[in-house]
């Protein structure tokens, strides 16, 4: 029902009406009738531009402020990472890989300190290469995490329509991370 109101007040009917009036010009109406018709249509079109400006303020939902959107991104990101951690704890993961995955999940929250980054760099530079089966398993674990995060976001999207754009942003981040991991593997 609200779509009908939005369409009616949106000015589309004014444009269509103006097109109809221009077609009446070819119908060879007397000049005074044609001028009256043009004046009536001009008023209608003017109203169709002014009324929505006033009415849409109450009909349409308010936009989410940038501050509120940032807070919601952080809240959803935290929920997404917590969900992935919980699911990761439900499956077998070798301890060395678990530590690496936990650090990457923490990094998604932006909660990685310089000390942690230096520690990770030191570990990575001194780490032995993973065997082929270990690399495959690590890739599979990353894919598992990404899928869990996307499922969480999909679930949230249906519950909180207001933040659909926020969910889209986070989903794109997860998919970009999945592409980067896939290219490295």
Angle of helix 95-108 relative to helix 132-159, nearest 10 degrees?
40
| Residue 48: other Cβ atoms inside 10 A | 19
Q: pLDDT tens digit string along 25-57?
A: 667 778 788 788 778 777 877 777 777 777 777
| Average pLDDT value for residue range 129-152 | 87
Q: pLDDT tens digit string along 62-79?
A: 666 778 878 888 888 899
Q: Are 177 and 146 in contact (CB under 8 A)?
A: yes
Q: pLDDT tens digit string along 10-25?
A: 556 666 666 766 776 6
At 35 the pLDDT is 81
CA distance linking residue 12 with residue 160, whole number of Å: 30
At 162 the pLDDT is 72
At 44 the pLDDT is 75
Angle of helix 132-159 relative to helix 66-89, nearest 10 degrees?
130
């Amino acid at each position: 029902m609200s779509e009908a109101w939005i369409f009616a007040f949106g000015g589309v009917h004014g444009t269509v009406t103006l097109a109809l009036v221009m077609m009446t010009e070819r119908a060879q109406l007397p000049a005074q009738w044609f001028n009256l018709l043009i004046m009536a249509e001009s008023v209608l079109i003017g109203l169709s531009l002014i009324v929505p400006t006033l009415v849409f303020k109450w009909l349409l939902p308010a936009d989410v402020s940038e501050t509120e959107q940032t807070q919601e991104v952080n809240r959803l990101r935290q929920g997404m990472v917590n969900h992935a951690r919980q699911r990761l704890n439900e499956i077998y993961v070798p301890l060395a890989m678990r530590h690496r995955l936990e650090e990457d999940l923490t990094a998604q929250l932006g909660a990685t300190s310089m000390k942690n980054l230096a520690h990770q760099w030191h570990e990575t530079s001194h780490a032995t290469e993973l065997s082929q089966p270990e690399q495959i398993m690590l890739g599979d674990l990353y894919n598992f995490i990404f899928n869990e995060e996307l499922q969480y976001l999909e679930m949230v999207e249906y519950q909180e329509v207001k933040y659909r754009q926020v969910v889209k942003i986070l989903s794109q981040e997860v998919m970009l991370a999945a592409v980067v991991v896939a290219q490295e593997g």
